[in-house]
Amino acid sequence: MQQVRRKLVAGNWKMHGYPALVAELVPNVVAATQNLNMDVLFIPPYTSLAAVSEQVKNTHCFVGAQSVSEYPEGAYTGEVSTRMLLDLGCKFTLVGHSERRSIFGESNADVAAKFLAAKQAGIEPILCVGETLQQRESGDTEQCIDRQLQAVVDVLDSIGGADGLNGAIVAYEPVWAIGTGRTASAEQAQAVHAFIRDEIAELNSDIAEELKILYGGSVNESNAGELFAQKDIDGGLIGGSSLKADSFSAICQAAS
Ligand code: PEP
């Protein structure tokens, strides 16, 4: 029997989000989405987490972080720990966003360590995976994603093996589609989402059936409906279009 996975739309603000944006955008989106049958997640920069957390208190919306330290505490200048995120009301954190991987050099092993730290702290990691244009064009999409998933699976032993994926989320974000205005077609995205679910099903079919897999990469209000209608696409990770209340709310509407 096929499970019904509740859709999630997450807005990754990246390095945007001054107090004026928080004050304008968050209440508008909260009001526009309150009767929808889906979940909404705001992912602002660290400096806006407290303010967004306050704005979403007692609403249907959640707040999450863009990354997290793999270390619990100590002399790690510039890092933010899981406990700090919990104190700010974060229920989720991205790990392995392609900008963290390509600009800041995070390896698959680094991302896996962050995934493990989040899980151990009770924060659900949203594991971002995706291939570059060069990998896609040379037919290496599945191998790339397989390596990104496998690095996480390799560290899950200490939290019950594949059970450690329970409740976690995967975001498939083809690197060539992020911030480029070039979206994967619904068929291209669905094919990779099905591949990810099949890979996880080899470890545990129940967890695979429940796993939310988000699509990210130039999602907007025009293409969201077709993407979210695909069998294995359970919502979206939205960058640019999450900074405008109308666009983000319309994308949430397309998921409900
Ligand atoms: C992202 O930052 O995760 C993203 C998908 O960005 P955009 O929607 O702007 O492509």
Domains of the chain (ranges plus CATH)? Answer: 8-255 (3.20.20.70)
> Over 90: is that where the pLDDT of 158 sits?
no
Which residues, including other chains, have CB under 8 Å from residue 256's CB and lie 6 or more apart? 7, 36, 37, 38
Share of the chain above pLDDT 90, in %: 92
**Annotated active-site residue in 70, 97, 99, 193:** 97
Instruction: Confirm whether 173 is a catalytic residue.
Output: yes
> Over 90: is that where the pLDDT of 96 sits?
yes
pLDDT for the residue 157: 84
> Over 70: is that where the pLDDT of 182 sits?
yes
The CA distances from residue 31 to 61, 226, 238, in Å, are: 10, 24, 19
Residue nearest to atom 2 of ligand 1 (CA): 239
Which of 215, 141, 136, 114 lies closest to 171 in space, CA to CA? 215
Instruction: Confirm whether 16 is a catalytic residue.
Output: no
The binding-site residues of ligand 1, defined as CB within 6 angstroms of any ligand atom, are: 12, 14, 173, 178-179, 216-219, 237-241
User: How does 196-205 read in b/e, with b if 16+ C-beta sit within 10 Å?
Assistant: bbebbeeebe
Instruction: Determine the atom of ligand 1 nearest the C-alpha atom of 242.
Output: 8
Which of 100, 26, 97 lies closest to 63 in space, CA to CA? 26
- Report residue 2's pLDDT band, with 50, 70 and 90 as the boundaries: low
Q: What is the mean pLDDT of residues 165-180?
A: 94
Q: Do the Cβ atoms of 52 and 63 come closer than 8 Å? A: yes
pLDDT for the residue 217: 96
> Over 80: is that where the pLDDT of 164 sits?
yes
pLDDT for the residue 1: 46
